[in-house]
Each structure stands twice: as structure tokens, then as C-alpha cells.
């Protein structure tokens, strides 16, 4: 695996400055760009380590703090090991911040993140890939539909509420998506039940979107996050294999 350099960066947006983490191969050369969207707990050491692992495979990876309007990361006072059953109070802090990030605001920010990658000397020319976790899976789908000319592939892992009857449900942007999509759904995830998985797949198929979705048995919502109680090692390694396969096909 390639040696990696990780640095904090700031990204100017229409509403302020988003702090972010940029990981890239330590060779000074441009590499395909990947925008990594966080889960609800935010930009923290574990997400930086995920970005480093991707960078070690030959990609330049940007992880923005999508909650930057509420402060620089870490936005929340998180324990080293996150167990929301033991700390239910965490959701009282995180919930309102999540809800304040409307699709409109998130997609305005996405334009700034994509522009940062397009202008970076460490990113090759052309469209980039996305990968998102939990709420980040929603952002990945919305970004693919909002900026189709900038996104070549997008993956979502243990995403919830991707295909609901809400007017801003992510699946509703399917007609605009030109990227190839991959989803690794959690088997034990009430926020993404079988009927939503079916609706998402049917909508993408009807729109002619190249896509593939799998349900990871025994995995819970948040299974890739090793610093949480939801972590599932086998599902996480399956996620890495699927994500890297998608990126290799794309670039």
C-alpha cells in the first residue's frame, strides 16, 4: 500500500468555511478524487483513518465537516468509543444539527467540495467518486443527482431513509443520475427496511441508472464505524472490497 499524507484543509462555501481532511498518496502526483461523506458523528479520527486507507489505494480523498455551520470539528463531545445505548444524550445534541442540514444547504456545500477537488493539483481531471456512510449515503445519492457531470460513481453504506414518501427523499433524483451506484445495506437497519430497498432499486432501474445493492447479513446501521458499538468486521471488509471494486471500474 502506498504511503499517505493527510492534511487539514479549509474549503470556502457560500455560507462560510468548511474544515475538512485531505488524504492522498505521498508522491506529489494527481490521483482520482473521492469525496467521503461522514456519518452523523462527524469528522473524527476514525473517518480520517478510513480516508487514509482509501488514499493508500491510490486516491485523493476529501472528508468535509458537513456540520461546519455549527463549528469546526469535532462538533460534538464524543467518547472514544461511541455507544448510543449507553449515551442516549448524544442524540439530543446531534439530532437538531442533522435536521438543520437541509438538502438545499447540503447540495450548495457539495458544489464547493467538488470545486475544491476539481481545482486541487492532487486530483486528476474529470469526474470524481463519492462514498457515504449513514447520513452520508443520502448525501452521496443527492450529490450524484445534483451534479451528474461531476460524479462518475457513488457508493452508500448503511444509509437510512433513501427511498421514502418524503418530497426530498434521495431516490427522487434518480432521473438525473449518470453515475454508477452501489449500496451496501445493513440487514439489521430499521431506517432502511426491505420495502425501501425495493423502491430504491426499482426507481433506479426505471431511470436507467447502473446500480447494484446488497444486504449484508447480521450488520447493523453504522457497521463500518469501528469506534462505535455498531461495528461489524466482516461487513466492513466486504464494504471495502465492494468500494474498491467500484473505484477500479470507474477510474
Q: Catalytic pick from 189, 211, 220, 232?
A: 189
189 is catalytic: yes
Q: Catalytic pick from 19, 39, 46, 134?
A: 134
- Can you tell me the distance from the alpha carbon of 165 to that of 196, in angstroms, rounded to the nearest whole number? 10
- Can you tell me the distance from the alpha carbon of 250 to that of 247, in angstroms, rounded to the nearest whole number? 5
- Can you tell me the distance from the alpha carbon of 155 to that of 143, in angstroms, rounded to the nearest whole number? 11
CATH of the domain at 204: 3.40.50.1820
- Can you tell me the distance from the alpha carbon of 212 to that of 91, in angstroms, rounded to the nearest whole number? 31
Q: Which domain holds residue 225?
A: 4-250
The pLDDT tens digits of the residues spanning 210-248 come to 999 999 999 999 999 999 999 999 999 999 999 999 999
- Can you tell me the distance from the alpha carbon of 214 to that of 191, in angstroms, rounded to the nearest whole number? 16
134 is catalytic: yes
- In this prediction, residue 86 carries a pLDDT of 86
Count of domains observed in the chain: 1
Mean pLDDT of 15-20: 98
149 is catalytic: no
Task: Give residue 85's pLDDT band: very low, low, confident or very high (50, 70, 90).
Answer: confident
- Can you tell me the distance from the alpha carbon of 67 to that of 136, in angstroms, rounded to the nearest whole number? 12
Task: Give residue 88's pLDDT band: very low, low, confident or very high (50, 70, 90).
Answer: confident
- 43, pLDDT greater than 80: yes
Amino acid at each position: 500500500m502506498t504511503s499517505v499524507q493527510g492534511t487539514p484543509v479549509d474549503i470556502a462555501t457560500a455560507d462560510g468555511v468548511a474544515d475538512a481532511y485531505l488524504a492522498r498518496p505521498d508522491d506529489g502526483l494527481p490521483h482520482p478524487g473521492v469525496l467521503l461523506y461522514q456519518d452523523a458523528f462527524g469528522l473524527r479520527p476514525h473517518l480520517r483513518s478510513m480516508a487514509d486507507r482509501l488514499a493508500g489505494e491510490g486516491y485523493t480523498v476529501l472528508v468535509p465537516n458537513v456540520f461546519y455551520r455549527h463549528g469546526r470539528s469535532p462538533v460534538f463531545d464524543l467518547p472514544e468509543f461511541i455507544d448510543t445505548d449507553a449515551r442516549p444524550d448524544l442524540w439530543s445534541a446531534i439530532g437538531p444539527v442533522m435536521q438543520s442540514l437541509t438538502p438545499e444547504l447540503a447540495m450548495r456545500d457539495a458544489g464547493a467540495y467538488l470545486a475544491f477537488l476539481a481545482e486541487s493539483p492532487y486530483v486528476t481531471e474529470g469526474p470524481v467518486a463519492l462514498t457515504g456512510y449513514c447520513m452520508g449515503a443520502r448525501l452521496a445519492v443527492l450529490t450524484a443527482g445534483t451534479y451528474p457531470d461531476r460524479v462518475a460513481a457513488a457508493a452508500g453504506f448503511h444509509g437510512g431513509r433513501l427511498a421514502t414518501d418524503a418530497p426530498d427523499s434521495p431516490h427522487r433524483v434518480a432521473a438525473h443520475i449518470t453515475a454508477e451506484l452501489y449500496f451496501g445495506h445493513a440487514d439489521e437497519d430499521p431506517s432502511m427496511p426491505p420495502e425501501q430497498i425495493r423502491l430504491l432499486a426499482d426507481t433506479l432501474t426505471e431511470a436507467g441508472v447502473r446500480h447494484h445493492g446488497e444486504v449484508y447479513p447480521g450488520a447493523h446501521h453504522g457497521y463500518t464505524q469501528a469506534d462505535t458499538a455498531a461495528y461489524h468486521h466482516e461487513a466492513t471488509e466486504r464494504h471495502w472490497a465492494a468500494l474498491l471494486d467500484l473505484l477500479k471500474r470507474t477510474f
